[in-house]
Amino acid sequence: MRTEDRHEDLLRALAPQVLGALVHRYGRFDACEDAVQEALLAAATQWPREGVPDHPRAWLVTVASRRLTDELRAEQARRRREDAVAAEPPPAPVADTDDTLALLVLCCHPALSPASQIALTLRAVGGLTTGEIARAFLVPEATMGQRISRAKQTIKAAGGTFALPPERELADRLRVVLHVLYLIFNEGYSATAGPDLQRADLVREAIRLTRSVLALRPDDGEVAGLLALMLLTDARRAARTGPDGALVPLAEQDRALWRREEITEGAALVTDALARARVGPYQVQAAIAAVHAEAPRAEDTDWPQILALYELLEGMAPNPVVTLNHAVALAMVRGPQAGLDLLATLDGDARLRDTHRVEAVRAHLLELAGERPAALAAYRSAARRTTSLPEKRHLEARAARLG
């Protein structure tokens, strides 16, 4: 591992601890978060030059505290000038606890939009810089900076506090955290072009953060399920695009490129979770990914088992995207017409904004049914409607094969 990567890993691991320490001491999540970001930037420039300090966490806490007290002093002076002196509360003692979960729950505050939850989580918990997050999401740094500061104002206005909510509420808030981690993962995983390094970083961050949540909530089957899903999906990363960047469908992927280590870990995680925890949607999705991963060749896939899992998922978390995948599994078990019939139930479904997905699946099933002209028309219609360049390319290539 390169020295810069080691520094980066260390900084990212320390970021939530340093932020937690500061918030415990001074309150003021928003100001503390800015101070920690500055300390991380200072470390990123100084450590490679001067070496990592003996106590990196303490170093970061000291630098961040200094920045924060400077800021608070400047603010106090401003207030004094405005003739409204507020007494600073005495600093509270620093508790030595892992604040990662409390930070995640705060950053994924329900008052925030998903885009803001993602940005704030990556910065405050993931320790990424605003510039890195901006590059990963292909927006200017100023835009991302504004999103983050706005998110902090929104949390403040909504009365969000740096404390874990009671257990009952925590369960709901944790669902939001898991969804945000899933979105971060997907943003990185679905990328086929653009700044690759930053995108791969999102995958790595999502997996790392989910691992840290699992360490804190080892009995939550859905946390284990999400981690398993990420690992089993990421295992296919090298196989999912061709050398020219074109998407390779699951059935045509070179399975020798799938990463066994991630598959083994993911499969073990989901098997264990299913055996002892209450089953949930992430576990079922991970189980589906595990069944795919177990097949040495596409034709060895245990489609009846996948179909049963989609039926379970459909009952648990019904949504049009699940129905689409369910239709494919149904077609593989009972023939294309059964899949097409299920697909027809989605026609006119207002929840499906990406209507090209229905058309793409329909095209595939029509092709399986041997209805070439109809398949061709559906591929072309899907290709025109998608906003994804690699999907468009893929769909046009399918159409060309039939035309």
Torsion of CA 266, 175, 203, 286, to 10 degrees: 30
CB of 172 to other proteins, least distance (A): 21
- Give the number of other CB atoms < 10 A from CB of residue 115: 14
Closest CB to other proteins among residues 130, 210: 130
CB of 40 to other proteins, least distance (A): 21
CB of 187 to other proteins, least distance (A): 7
In Å, what is the CA distance from 291 to each residue of 8, 146, 233, 284?
A: 35, 43, 12, 11
Closest CB to other proteins among residues 61, 202: 202
3-class state of residue 354 by DSSP: coil
Closest CB to other proteins among residues 253, 283: 253
In Å, what is the CA distance from 46 to each residue of 7, 21, 22, 36, 335?
A: 11, 22, 21, 15, 63
CB of 289 to other proteins, least distance (A): 12
Closest CB to other proteins among residues 139, 279: 139
List all residues 6 or more positions away from 231 whose beta carbon is below 8 Å from its beta carbon: 207, 262, 263, 265, 266, 269
Query: Contact residues for other proteins (CB under 8 A)?
Result: 113-116, 139-140, 143-144, 146-148, 150, 187, 190-194, 236, 240, 247-250, 253, 353, 360-361, 364, 387-392, 394
Closest CB to other proteins among residues 99, 391: 391
Residue 371 β-bridge partners = none
CB of 285 to other proteins, least distance (A): 14
Closest CB to other proteins among residues 67, 109: 109
CB of 249 to other proteins, least distance (A): 5
Give the whole-angstrom CA distance, residue 32 versus residue 19.
7
